[in-house]
Structure 1
Amino acid sequence: MAEMAEWLRSRRVTEVECLVADMSGVARGKILPTEKFLISAGESGLRLPDSVFAQTVTGDFVDSEVIDYTEPDLILHPDPATLRLVPWYDEPTAQVICDARHRAGEPCVMAPREVLRRVLALYAERGWKPVVAPELEFYLCKRNLDPDYPLEAPVGKSGRAETGRQSYGIDAVNEFDPVFEDMYDWCEAQGLDVDTLIHEGGAAQVEINFDHGDALSLADQVFIFKRTVRQAALKHGIYATFMAKPHQSEPGSAMHIHQSVVSVDTGENLFSDPDGRDTPLFLSHIAGLQKYLHEAMALIGPNVNSYRRLVKDFAAPINTHWGLENRTVGLRVPASRPHARRIENRIPGADANSYLAIATSLICGWLGMEEGLEPTAPLQKSAYVMKSQRLPRHLLDALYNLRRSSALREALGDDFVTMFLEVKAAEHDAYQQVISAWEREHLLLNV
């Protein structure tokens, strides 16, 4: 606490945002004056009701089997490693990600950050350490004040909105230089390890790659990065969205997760032997992803909109086949040197909670390694012509699969899985109350 106090005072920080990620990855918490924060944090006085994790993306609370109706407080414990300045405010302001614990000190098992910690502990018990590198796609779009109207691409510095596909286009990215300059400056100020920026296949769609590293740190960074990009876009009068499928006629946005496993003792990549051959652990990791992603799909495709992205017409994965340098499969193995051997899980959407997406991808691989599973043969043709191993097509199907998964309940925690299912079922019920424009257009006068 003394080091945090010195850090805050040396930067003349006036306020501190204390953050937790809810089930949807929304930043929840409270804002305190710096001195009040230091007193409260030192006395374990930072509190939020445990119902914060029973909150839907629309802000409603669900009746839960696992949370007491009296809503007891959780204690927020700031993680000093996550203390950062918030660069988009005029007054010096800091943010810190907190771990949620019960009053007796035990972790709150419903907290997504704790779920990832739980998965990493399973790896650590075997002397393994995951290494991940997320790739996050998102769209820039014109301000949309009426949700009944489709989104439009924003106007860039040329004065025109982008209409065509400009994959990897340099000048297309430069249309929005002011946004990306602020984004990079703010990422640097927050210590976010962002790497490459490219234009993706949709109009005003871009992708940011993160440097590989520790799974918990990268999940924290993606959580903060989403806030950062939204604020950079708003500063310039436009929106940034991480919806999985924001446009009807454009590709969806993914959160590709590159993952490998190294030995804690030696640091060696366990996916490749010194001669560059695939190891049994590597193949079992792939097999675990193939077997369990069907059951875990709701965690990496958590919204109704998530499943609009998973269609072959827009080069998105529709199954869990794997292959070397094959972008049609759900599980791609990039060509690499032995020490960098990894799997790219291309199935998670950009709308997924970063903690849950990384935890899910890693636990599926861990189960495969634990069970000694064997994968299918690597696919050397297009995965879109294959009828086997198709992913769930709708949120309700994915929730059904997760509800029945004893392996994921045991690995991720039964109370967490129950709480997640309750929140997502409530969100789906709310969605079912909405009459879409398609229904009004095609059914109003025809049926």
Structure 2
Amino acid sequence: MRIASSILTVTMTGDYPDLPSGIDQAIQDPDCVLLPDPSSIRVAPGYRTPTAFVMTDAFTKDGEPIEVAPRQVLTKIMNLYAEKGWVPIIAPELEFFLTARNIDPDLPLESPIGRSGRAETVSQPYGLEALNEHEDLIEQVYEYCEIADIDIDTMIHEAGAAQLEVNFNHGNPMQLADQVLVFKRIFRQVSLMNGVYGTFMAKPMDNQPGSAMHIHQSLQDAKTGNNLFAEPNGEDSWMFRSFIAGLQKFLPECAPLFAPNVNSFRRMRPQYDAPINVQWGRDNRSCGLRVPLSDGQNRRVENRLPGADCNPYLAIAASLACGYVGMQMGLEPSEPCTGSAYRLPRSLPRTLDEALERFNACGPVREVLGEEFCQIFASVKELELDHFEGVVSAWEREHLLLKV
């Protein structure tokens, strides 16, 4: 299959940025060759005609990988680990909302009516009754995920009104990124079938928490299968410490890869239990980097920074890249945070504008991700930001129209 390579640079608004000089794609827009990954084929449920999902990888006509394609970016990072004899293992936790249908983007979103005839109005984390309000929809999601071979563990009710979370079983980063992408499609389609919207916006409603995609990460020895984040006696290994240190040092500079939209940064506020820095702590959910309680064989770190709106391939690649660079540089992390990380200074950017400035200056991680990818990605996001900044918001009309 062939398709214009410019598809890899299209913005959310359907526009194309002016790419940096020296990138031939900006002028020539050649076809790229999409080769299917046979291991990714899965049944696509819910269609009248038998249909399947299959992921493809992008190559030039000469067979060279197109390194700006998200799957190729993740492949590149996984290859760096493979060269060291390391096997990264990840497990995403994805949050999302159900909302009432809304055809006017100027109007705020509202919670949908459940089977009780009422909409949720208060926080009900882990609430079984709240979960049962949309039981038919949830059961259909489970059914479709089983048909599509999506390996989910559990689905729970989160803190927001009609906010849910699905936990994926741990495994290969590429396979899990594929599953996240397919799950999003399934959930949105099932929601529409049930007369509501399913959204993965990072912050869809004013007075509700945001939605994240937490990434649990560990590292195995390719030969023995042992967890490289722990010593034989169960103590933290140097690789574990340096991996965390790499996340601490470089994740704030890579924010556009896990918070890619202007809306992403509305989520990162302490009153909604979202991280504002890259402190790390053991079983401490106020930290951007949480180490769950575990024995040595299950030692892992949970990256709580990515939003549900991220591209899973790029967010996972960025997190693994930061950890990789940390291990390569032999970095040491800060002392673990034992209190509230919200009492410590913010280290994450507050806006997409600030995030892009910092991303453009992050040399070590850009080197492993690929400079051409980083330039093109930043160009896309800068154009989206420019369009957003040209829109006059309802807040401005409400508070400034007759007062200034």
Map residues 13-412 of structure 1 onto 2, 5 A cutoff: 46-65=1-20, 66=23, 67-387=25-345, 390-412=347-369
CA distance in 2, matches of 1:377, 1:404: 26
**How far off its partner does 1:263 sit?**
0.5
Corresponding residue number in structure 2 for 1:413: 370
Q: Of 384, 401, 404, which residue of structure 2 is paired with 1:427?
A: 384
Secondary structure of 2:214's aligned partner = strand
**How far off its partner does 1:94 sit?**
1.5
Q: Which runs of 5+ in 2 are unaligned?
A: none
CA distance in 1, matches of 2:202, 2:287: 18
2:394 is aligned with what amino acid?
Answer: A
CA distance in 2, matches of 1:192, 1:273: 33
For residues 393-443 of structure 1, give each alpha carbon's deviation from its aligned partner in whole angstroms, at most 9, with x where no partner exists.
110111011111111221100100000000000100110111100000000
1:241 is aligned with what amino acid?
Answer: T
**How far off its partner does 1:58 sit?**
1.4
Matched residues, number: 401
CA distance in 2, matches of 1:191, 1:78: 18
2:111 is aligned with what amino acid?
Answer: A
Secondary structure of 1:154's aligned partner = coil
**How far off its partner does 1:285 sit?**
0.4
- Provide the TM-score with structure 1 as the length reference: 0.89
**How far off its partner does 1:68 sit?**
3.4
Q: Which runs of 5+ in 1 are unaligned?
A: 1-45
RMSD, aligned CA: 0.8
1:61 is aligned with what amino acid?
Answer: Y
Comparing 411-420 with 59-68, which one deviates more in the overlay?
Answer: 59-68
CA distance in 2, matches of 1:129, 1:265: 9
Structure 1 residue ranges (4+ consecutive) displaced by more than 4 angstroms after TM superposition: none
Corresponding residue number in structure 2 for 1:15: none
CA distance in 2, matches of 1:86, 1:215: 21
Secondary structure of 1:365's aligned partner = helix
CA distance in 2, matches of 1:178, 1:429: 41
Contact 1:244–1:309 at 8 Å: present in 2 too? yes
**How far off its partner does 1:63 sit?**
1.9
**How far off its partner does 1:70 sit?**
2.4
Corresponding residue number in structure 2 for 1:31: none
**How far off its partner does 1:194 sit?**
0.7
Contact 1:402–1:408 at 8 Å: present in 2 too? no
CA distance in 2, matches of 1:200, 1:95: 29
1:107 is aligned with what amino acid?
Answer: P
